[in-house]
Amino acid sequence: MKGQLKKRTKDPYDGWYDCQYESRFISIDCIRGTFLIDGMTIGFLPEKIIFNELFVRVFGDHIFEVQAADSPNAYVTKYSYHVNGIVQYEFHFNDRRNHLIVKEWYTQTNDMFELIPHSFFENELPDMFVSNYSHWWNEKDQTIEFRPVHFKDIDFLNKSYILSMKTGYVTNTETVNAQILVNQSSAFFQSLFSRYFIRLDDKPYIYMMRDNTFQTSNIIHIHLSRLGIAFRYNATTNIIMSREYSDMCIDKHQCLGTLTGLSSGLLLSPLPINNQTVEHYPYRKLIVPFGEIHCERIFDASHQTVTIQRSSSISFLHQYFVFILNDRLKILQSTDSPTGWLYLALPHAVTSHPLPDQYMGMTGMERAFQLLNSAGC
């Protein structure tokens, strides 16, 4: 080697040495064992790439063998990946912006995709479309593909949804059951959310899909991704039917006659056809999400407001309870034991009033003590 290595700094703890060899600038870190040519590692990606949040989320601990790409300061994989080896990856780290650029190149079609950080969509799309997918920009088609998060997923190249930049619509890729995502800013979404679904969960964890076929364009599928439950809204009949309880729908009147002041929880009633065939349907259902009970006294109000807060710091946010309003016995009953009975006692206690409830004929505190002393607890 004609070049002579020179220590980069006078710091005794700095192991970097540099030299110029013909047109190449060579750097060696004698302490960490790093070898650079023109500021680039040889054979493998540098730490600033493999420890980048964007890289870790999609590629995890996968080790790529790479070589210098045609673009300056960029790496391209030596080998192709996925089915029949049709894809190669290019990595470029912008030091000025501290930004990683990942591109995916299809060797057979010459199509190029760029990985978009999922954080870009956090305030634009429901959480399910942000947290559960990786997002790939296709400049040629002006679309963003929603694909599995993890590179090692066998279906990594398969897209579940597509965002068209030309139309602004997010659509699924199913041909038989085509659907379009309902905009959360639309008056339709806001109306249903503020009236019913805010009672179960926060806005980011609720999304609605409209059927995109001529025959069923009046059907809206409502999903609560964190709770794992869904509803089906028919715009013709104006009925919102439960997926989990197919014989029940959301009651338009959410007043229970008990648990006064509780703003969380969704009341289900029998479908109208069941009311016609069964003279006395003995029960309704109340879905109550799990969370922290929060009470607030409102000035000049006759009763305090009770909400169930579901911040991300709380565990078991996928849990919910189903309580039965037994219209014959005039009590609420839990379908879970003993956790459901214990949880039911709490809202009864915090919504209690000096006067008996209209529905139960007793105060909430009385009912809470009954539950705590019962065999169910």
DSSP secondary structure string for all residues of 46-67: -HHHHTSHHHHHHHTT---BEE
Q: What is the pLDDT of residues 145-155, one digit of tens each?
A: 999 999 999 99
Q: Are 49 and 167 members of one domain?
A: yes
Model confidence at 310: pLDDT above 80: yes
Q: Are 343 and 271 members of one domain?
A: yes
Model confidence at 194: pLDDT above 60: yes
Enclosing domain of residue 238? 182-244
Judge whether 128 and 225 are in contact, CB under 8 Å. Answer: yes
Confidence of residue 301 (pLDDT cuts 50, 70, 90): low
Q: How far apart are CA 120 and CA 366, in angstroms?
A: 51
Among the candidates 190, 222, 244, a domain finishes at 244
Confidence of residue 377 (pLDDT cuts 50, 70, 90): low
Question: Would strands 74-77 and 87-94 be described as parallel, antiparallel, or unpaired?
Answer: antiparallel
Judge whether 223 and 312 are in contact, CB under 8 Å. Answer: no
Choice between 12 and 266, residue whose per-residue pLDDT is larger = 266
Q: Are 145 and 126 members of one domain?
A: yes
Model confidence at 165: pLDDT above 90: yes
Q: Are 344 and 368 members of one domain?
A: yes
Average pLDDT estimate for 121-143: 96
Q: Are 158 and 261 members of one domain?
A: no
Q: Are 201 and 295 members of one domain?
A: no
Q: Are 129 and 148 members of one domain?
A: yes
Residue whose C-alpha is closest to residue 44's, from 73, 21, 74, 65? 65
Q: Are 345 and 317 members of one domain?
A: yes
